Amino acid sequence: MDNQNIDNNLNLNDILHRYVSQWKFFALSVFLCLSLAFIYLRYSTNQYKSSAIIKIKEDQQTNKLPEISGFQNFGMFAGDFGQVQDELEILKSKTLIEQVVKDLKLNISYFVQGRIKDKENYIDPPLSLTLFKNDSIINKVDTTFYVNILSPSEFKITNKPSTISPSETGTLHHFGDKINSSFGGFIITPNLDSDSTAPGTIIEVNFTPVTKLVEGYQKALVLENTEGSNIIKLSLNGTIRAKSENFLNKLILKYNEDVVNDKEEIIKVTSDFITNRLDIVSEELEKVDLTAETLKKDNRLSDLASQSNIFLQSERENESNLIETTNQIQLIGYMEQHLKDNNANGDLLPANVGIQDPTIAQVTRSHNDLVLQRNRILKNSSEKNPTVINLDSQIKELKANLQQSLANLKSSSQITLNSLKKADSRINAEIYSTPTKERKFRDITRQQNIKESLYLYLLEKREETAITLGMSSPNAKIIDWAYSSNIPVSPKKMIVYLGAFLLGLGIPTALIYGGDLLDNKVHSKKDITNILNIPYIGEIPKSPLKDVPVKKVDYSPKAESFRILRTNIDFMLQNITHKSKIVFVTSTTSQEGKSHTSVNLALSLAHSEKSVLLIETDIRVPRASKYLEVQNKTGLTDFISNKNLTLDDVLVESKNSPNLKVIPSGTIPPNPAELLLSNRVAELFETVNNQFDYIIVDTAAVGLVTDTLLISKYADLFIYVVKANYLDKRNLHIAQTMYNEKRLPNMTILLNNADQKKSYGYGYGYGYGKNPNKLEKWWKKYLPAKS
pLDDT, position 6? 45
**447 touches 288 (CB < 8 A):** yes
Helix (H, G, I), strand (E, B) or coil at 564: helix
Alpha helices in 608-731 (DSSP H): 624-628, 636-641, 647-650, 672-676, 679-688, 707-711
- The confidence score (pLDDT) of residue 441 equals 66
Residue-wise burial string across 321-330, b where 16 or more C-beta atoms lie within 10 A, e elsewhere: ebeebeebbe
- Omega before 491 within 30 of 0, i.e. cis: yes
How far is it, in rounded angstroms, from Cα 170 to Cα 75? 64
Which pLDDT score, from 0 to 100, does residue 305 have?
54
List 694's β-bridge partners, or say none.
581, 612
Distance CA 119, CA 239 (A): 10
pLDDT reported for residue 63: 45
pLDDT above 60: residue 94: yes
Look at residue 787 in the predicted model and tell me its pLDDT.
43
Residue 223 has pLDDT above 90, yes or no: yes
Q: State the average pLDDT for the chain.
A: 81
Percent of the chain exceeding pLDDT 90 equals 31
Q: Write the pLDDT tens digit of every residue in 382-406.
A: 777 787 788 778 877 877 887 788 7
Three-state secondary-structure class, residue 669: coil
Specify the pLDDT at position 545: 62
Output DSSP code: residue 546. -
What DSSP assignment string belongs to 159-227?
SSTT--STTSS-EEEETT-EE--TT--EEEEE-TT-GGGSTT-EEEEEE--HHHHHHHHHHH-EEEE-T
For residue 304, name the pLDDT band (cuts at 50, 70, 90). Answer: very low
d(Cα 205, Cα 144) in Å, to the nearest integer?
Answer: 6
Nearest partner of 521 among 766, 751, 756, 765, judged by Cα: 751
User: In whole angstroms, how far apart are CA 217 and each of 212, 222, 456, 478?
Assistant: 9, 9, 52, 21
- Tell me the C-alpha to C-alpha distance, in Å, between residue 385 and each of 348, 368, 374, 382, 388: 21, 20, 10, 6, 5
Indicate whether 510 pLDDT > 70: yes
Question: Which of 27-36, 375-384, 650-659 is predicted with the least confidence, judged by mean pLDDT?
Answer: 375-384
For residue 257, the number of C-alpha atoms closer than 13 Å in the C-beta half-sphere is 9
pLDDT at position 771: 57
Query: Is 676's pLDDT higher than 70?
Result: yes
For the beta carbon of residue 692, count every other beta carbon within 10 angstroms: 21
Smallest CA-to-CA distance from 126 within 227, 203, 49 is with 203
DSSP count for the chain of H helices, then E strands = 24, 21
- The answer, as to whether pTM is greater than 0.85, is no
For the CA atoms of 495, 500, 501, 505, the dihedral, rounded to the nearest 10 degrees, stands at 140
Question: What residues are paired with 264 via a beta bridge?
Answer: none
Range with the lowest mean pLDDT among 175-184, 692-701, 731-740, 778-787?
Answer: 778-787
For residue 656, which amino acid is it?
N
| Residues 281-304, mean pLDDT to the nearest whole number | 68
Per-residue pLDDT, averaged over 293-319, amounts to 64
CA gap 722, 526 in Å, rounded: 13
* pLDDT cut 70: percent of the chain above it: 83
The three-state secondary structure class of 747 is strand
Task: Read off the pLDDT of residues 117-152 as tens digits, 9 standing for 90 and up.
Answer: 888 888 888 888 888 888 788 888 889 898 888 888
Report the pLDDT averaged over residues 88-96.
91
Average pLDDT, integer, range 12-33: 88
CA pair distance 582, 343, nearest whole angstrom:
123
Residue 98's pLDDT is what?
Answer: 93
pLDDT at 64: 45
pLDDT reported for residue 7? 53
The more confident residue out of 277 and 634 is: 634
